[in-house]
Amino acid sequence: MRQTPASSPSRFPSLTSVLAWTLIIFFVGACTSPAWPQTAEPLLVSAASNLILAFEEMGAAYEEETGRPVTFNFAASGQLALQIEQGAPVDLFVSANTAYVEDLAAKGRVLPDSVQTYARGRLTLWTRADASLPIETVEDLLDPKVERVSIANPEHAPYGVAARQALQTAGVWEVIQPKLVMGENVRQALQYAETGNVDAALVPLSLSITSDGKWTLIPEDLHAPINQALGVVADSPRQDQALDFAAFITSAQGQAILGEYGFAPAEEVSSP
Amino acid sequence: MIWDALLLSLRVASLATLLVTVVGLLIALWLARSDFRGRSLVETLVSLPMVLPPSVVGYYLLRFLGRGGPLNIFGTQIVFTWLAAVIASAVVALPLMFHSSRAAIAAVDPTLEKAAGSLGSPPWKVVWDVTLPLARRGILAGMVLAFARGLGEFGATLMVAGNIPGRTQTLPLAIYDLVQANRIPEANATVVLMTAVAFGSLLAVNRLERRARSREKRYA
Amino acid sequence: MLEVDIEKQLEDFTLRVTFQVDREVLVLFGPSGAGKSMTFSCITGLARPDRGMIRLDGRVLFEDDGRNRQEVPLHKRHIGYVFQNYALFPHMTVAQNLSYGIRDRRDAGGRAKAMLARLHLDGLADRYPHQLSGGQQQRVALGRALMIEPALLLLDEPFAALDGAVRESLQADIADLQREMALSVVYITHNLMDAFALGDRLAVIQAGQLQQVGPIQEVFQHPNSRTVAEITGVRNLLEGVVSSSSAEGLVIDWGGHTILAPPAPRARGEPVTFYVRPEDVKLLYPERPLAPAVQHNRFTGRVSNVMAAGTWVTVRLGMATSSSPDAKVTLESHLPMRAYRALGLEVGATVDFSLRRDGITLLPS
């Protein structure tokens, strides 16, 4: 490089260094893990986020059995449905309700024949372990000492819908509704209760059993069954594999795993 | 899982910052030095991702980049790849970079640019020799903001890139998963890690900036 | 050689200028807003005329005849421009500023050093602009423009922010450089002293129009109109009507007073504008006999103001005319300090004075 006293004016060294830094990080990252989607990929399953624990075990068990790995994409069911509608390269959709799956089937985005209920959710009434007030039924929520109750937002969360149905069927909706705090999802609804910001929460059994609180099951006849359905995505290049995994989910082994995490089997309609 | 997420986050944020720097500077230069009727419209459009909730931004990106959308040019998908994560981070970070750069560029004395032009530098060289160096502080600040924003991007990324560990699961998404799975101690540890990374990056950039400043004499 | 013939519609008036500059210094002189800076902008390429032609050494920089337009962009015109506020790049050293425009970087450093020496700025190569004084900065700005070896140098009010001695030395340097490098130089100022210091020719511009162009002394002493006279700061500008004209001289009726001027071909009854230089307004000693030169045009006035400047004094005299009996007409007289002292005048005193006949200059009709 020419070194004359009156050399070209200094560029901005720090800016160049920063750019160099980012490029280094980028390339280091690029070298360590595969960046671009490969052709022979594992199955990609979009599953509702409240199924994380259950399906991580489900995926591990499936891989042990068949040697085929499964990758999961956990998010809210509504978001997952939107993604599939817009062409996300997902093979199987495991929702927290049935409506989203049926909707996609009607639009041809999911194979209608593959739609089936794989589990039934149960609703619980949850309070902190150190709660002074015993809250075991929805009627207990009528107590004026119960100031706030959280549920997932019924606008888009199936368990929120069930919670609202339960409160309405039990005839306590008018009194309870002003006390309601809506969580973005069931996890958030539980967090409100765990942190003491609300006195009680209506959340899925699957959340309650891994938590540190007290809970009781809400009778199933108070709400429409929280059926959870799955469906194979129509554009998937791995439909057979997807169907195989779906079969595993609905098999005795799969249902047992689901049962561990607070999901009732699909067929059963009897009360607890 | 966490290390994958960390590396991916750094990669995504870095590339998004690079992208946003180039695009943001171009738009900022264009707007700072010209006066046309649609100017405020362009400004508003660029600032939009700053005002919209990230999930809304994610939704629009999904419509745009997804099948049937106008931007789905390649046969292979952008949606659900780490590239989509880069785009999501870039879109939400762009307004920050743009505003910071634009203010800094507008503050550069136009007479200096005219002088450079009169001495034989074509417009691009004037920008490179005079405008950008003198606007350096604002530009760098914009880049830092963009990087920080890109690192923490969640809502839009989740929508358009998915939450696939090892492929598109950035640190914020990993934390989300951990919380959903009730693995709170791990979640907390990851939060601390992420804070440390963000903090460290900002600190490093600050150092670089200060060193560059002390190497040159201070000028008014 | 620079040839300019352009027209541009501006907000308040139309700019229409035509002039040439050939290896000399032309001063573009006029009040603020007259169109001086816009003319410069058009020459450099920062602004575009509506119509016209700009050529430098035969090379077309701009041409638009209403049908076709040919235009060379700013960065290709190769014109040296020195800005009013210097416009030195604050993030570059003096040496880097100087050599910014040089294409061939091979001996850029050496040439920069040579220019520094030429401009009496030795040793400042590695300084930054903010570390220099105003005068030094202006020199660097000048040097930077000259380093590209332009055929034309434009200076925009280059001395506005400088004081006396610095101003003079810079003016001297520019004059030397112009001669050495056979540059065509155009420079903008509204300060008459600056114009005299550096200019060969003067172009007086007002409201977008060139009023008079010519050698500087010529324009100053023989303004072709009242406008030019006012702009160039001519003092004692008066109006009257011709009473009679003969071989002995012109008799002017000035507001009831009679003025004898040198002979001129004017008709009786013709209105006339004239001026008399302050040096030709001679204050008279009360008891001394009148010298021949001051026989005529004797009046009485009252001292309204006295301004001393070194060895000279400017005295303002108020006198009444028929058209303004109370609102007095003011004449300026310029005389040596010692003469003023000898007269023993002070503000409010009455004094006789005479307008020297041959010092009365008529403006063209």
Where on the phi/psi map is residue C87: left (φ > 0), alpha (ψ -120 to 50), or beta?
Answer: left
Tell whether A259 is covered by a domain: yes
Chain C residues with CB-CB distance to B118 below 8 A: 44, 74-75, 77, 79-81, 145
Q: Which of A217, A237, A255 is the last residue of a domain?
A: A217
Q: How far is C285 from chain B (nearest CA, A)?
A: 57
Chain B touching partners, 3 or more CB pairs below 8 A: A, C
Contact assessment for residue C27 and residue C217, using Cβ atoms and an 8 Å cutoff: no
Express each pLDDT in C297-322 by its tens digit. Answer: 888 888 888 998 888 999 998 887 66
Neighbours of C24 (CB within 10 A): 18
Any idea what the CATH number is for the domain that residue A165 is in? Answer: 3.40.190.10
Express each pLDDT in B140-154 by its tens digit. Answer: 888 988 998 998 898
Contact C91 A4 (CB under 8 A): no
Name which of B109, B119, B219 is nearest C101 (Cβ-Cβ): B119
Domains of chain B, residue spans: 2-215
pLDDT of B74 reads 57
Mean pLDDT of chain B: 85
Q: Which residue of C has its CA nearest to A7?
A: C96
Region C206-230: mean pLDDT is: 90
Residue A172: which domain range?
A: 123-217
Look-up: residue for tokens 């040793």? C123
Whole-number Cα distances in Å, C248 to B137, C222, C342, C358: 78, 22, 34, 12
Chain A residues with CB-CB distance to C96 below 8 A: 6-9
Contact A18 B205 (CB under 8 A): yes
Residues contacting residue C83 through CB under 8 Å, at least 6 positions apart: B111, B114, B115, C141, C156
- Stated length of chain B: 220
Name which of B14, B21, B69 is nearest A25 (Cβ-Cβ): B14
pLDDT greater than 80 at residue B215: no
Look-up: residue for tokens 């009010």? C157
Chain B residues with CB-CB distance to C91 below 8 A: 133-134, 216, 219
Q: How confident is the model at residue A33 (pLDDT cuts 50, 70, 90)?
A: very low
Structure tokens at C327: 């609102």
Question: Is C100 at the interface with chain B, CB within 8 A?
Answer: yes
Q: Is residue A71 located within the same domain as residue A139?
A: no
Nearest to B68 by CA among A93, A104, A85, A78: A85
Tell whether A7 is covered by a domain: no
Q: Is residue A114 located within the same domain as residue A231?
A: yes
Chain A residues with CB-CB distance to C143 below 8 A: none
Contact C87 B117 (CB under 8 A): no
Return the ∠ at Cα C208 (arms to C35 and C224), rounded to 5°: 120
Structure tokens at A82: 């939107």
How many residue pairs bridge chain A and chain C with CB atoms within 8 Å of each other? Answer: 33
Q: Is residue A83 located within the same domain as residue A133?
A: no
Look-up: residue for tokens 């992208």? B19
Region B37-59: mean pLDDT is: 89
Contact C89 A9 (CB under 8 A): yes
pLDDT greater than 70 at residue A195: yes
Name which of A2, A6, A9 is nearest C112 (Cβ-Cβ): A6
Question: Is C128 at the interface with chain A, CB within 8 A?
Answer: no
Q: Where are the alpha helices (H) located in B52-129, listed in sequence order?
A: 54-65, 82-106, 110-118, 123-126
Strands C298-309 and A214-217: unpaired
pLDDT of B167 reads 82
Whole-number Cα distances in Å, C184 to A12, C146, C180: 37, 12, 11
Region C272-287: mean pLDDT is: 88
Chain B residues with CB-CB distance to C41 below 8 A: none
Express each pLDDT in B75-116 by its tens digit. Answer: 556 788 888 899 999 999 999 999 999 999 999 999 999 999
pLDDT of A35 reads 42
Rounded distance between C-alpha atoms, residue A78 and residue A48, angstroms: 9
- Stated length of chain A: 272
Q: Is residue A232 located within the same domain as residue A111?
A: yes
Chain A residues with CB-CB distance to B147 below 8 A: 22
Chain C residues with CB-CB distance to B130 below 8 A: 89
Residues contacting residue C281 through CB under 8 Å, at least 6 positions apart: C236, C317, C331, C332, C333, C334, C353, C354, C355, C356
Q: What is the count of structural domains for chain A?
A: 2
Contact B81 A37 (CB under 8 A): yes
List the beta strands (DSSP E) in C247-349: 250-254, 257-261, 271-276, 281-283, 298-309, 312-319, 329-336
Nearest to B193 by CA among B171, B164, B173: B171
Name which of B114, B119, B123 is nearest C100 (Cβ-Cβ): B119
Mean pLDDT of chain C: 89
Q: How confident is the model at residue A19 (pLDDT cuts 50, 70, 90)?
A: low
Name which of C46, C100, C101 is nearest B114 (Cβ-Cβ): C46
Q: Is residue A128 located within the same domain as residue A211?
A: yes
Express each pLDDT in C55-95 by its tens digit. Answer: 999 999 999 988 899 999 999 999 999 998 899 999 999 99
What is the helix, strand, coil percentage profile of chain A, to 5? 45, 20, 35
**CATH architecture of the domain covering B2-215:** Orthogonal Bundle (1.10)
pLDDT greater than 60 at residue A12: no
Tell whether A71 is covered by a domain: yes
Name which of B82, B162, B164 is nearest A35 (Cβ-Cβ): B82
Contact B112 C87 (CB under 8 A): yes
Express each pLDDT in C330-353 by its tens digit. Answer: 889 999 988 888 888 888 888 888
Region A149-154: mean pLDDT is: 91
Rounded distance between C-alpha atoms, residue B131 and residue B85, angstroms: 32
Strands C152-156 and C184-189: parallel
Domains and CATH numbers, chain C: 2-231 (3.40.50.300), 237-362 (2.40.50.100)
Nearest to B120 by CA among C348, A241, C44: C44
Name which of A2, A6, A10 is nearest C95 (Cβ-Cβ): A6
Contact assessment for residue A109 and residue A173, using Cβ atoms and an 8 Å cutoff: no
The residue among B119 and C198 whose pLDDT is bigger is: B119
pLDDT of B15 reads 93
Q: Is residue A49 located within the same domain as residue A77?
A: yes
Q: Is residue A146 located within the same domain as residue A106?
A: no
Region B190-209: mean pLDDT is: 83
pLDDT of B204 reads 76
pLDDT greater than 70 at residue A11: no
Chain C residues with CB-CB distance to B115 below 8 A: 81, 83, 87, 89, 144
Chain A residues with CB-CB distance to C113 below 8 A: 5
Look-up: residue for tokens 């055929």? C151
Chain B residues with CB-CB distance to C100 below 8 A: 116, 119, 121, 129
Rounded distance between C-alpha atoms, residue A62 and residue B23, angstroms: 46
Contact C109 A5 (CB under 8 A): yes
Q: Is residue A231 located within the same domain as residue A200?
A: no
Name which of B120, B123, B220 is nearest C101 (Cβ-Cβ): B120
pLDDT of A269 reads 43
Rounded distance between C-alpha atoms, residue B209 and residue A59, angstroms: 48
Using CB atoms within 10 Å of the CB of residue B68, give its burial: 0 to 12 exposed, 13 to 18 middle, 19+ buried: exposed
Where on the phi/psi map is residue A8: left (φ > 0), alpha (ψ -120 to 50), or beta?
Answer: beta
- Stated length of chain C: 365
Contact B182 A53 (CB under 8 A): yes
The residue among A4 and B165 whose pLDDT is bigger is: B165
C-alpha count within 13 angstroms, C-beta hemisphere, residue B197: 27
Q: How far is A1 from chain C (nearest CA, A)?
A: 12
Mutate to test the interface with C, among B33, B109, B118, B219 (most CBs of C within 10 A): B118
Structure tokens at B93: 């970070």
- 3-state SS string for B131-184: HHHHCHHHHHHHHHHHHHHHHCCCHHHHHHHCCCCCCCCCHHHHHHHHHHCCCH
pLDDT of A14 reads 52
Q: Is residue A232 located within the same domain as residue A110?
A: yes
Chain A residues with CB-CB distance to C109 below 8 A: 4-7
Tell whether A9 is covered by a domain: no
Q: Is residue A230 located within the same domain as residue A259?
A: yes
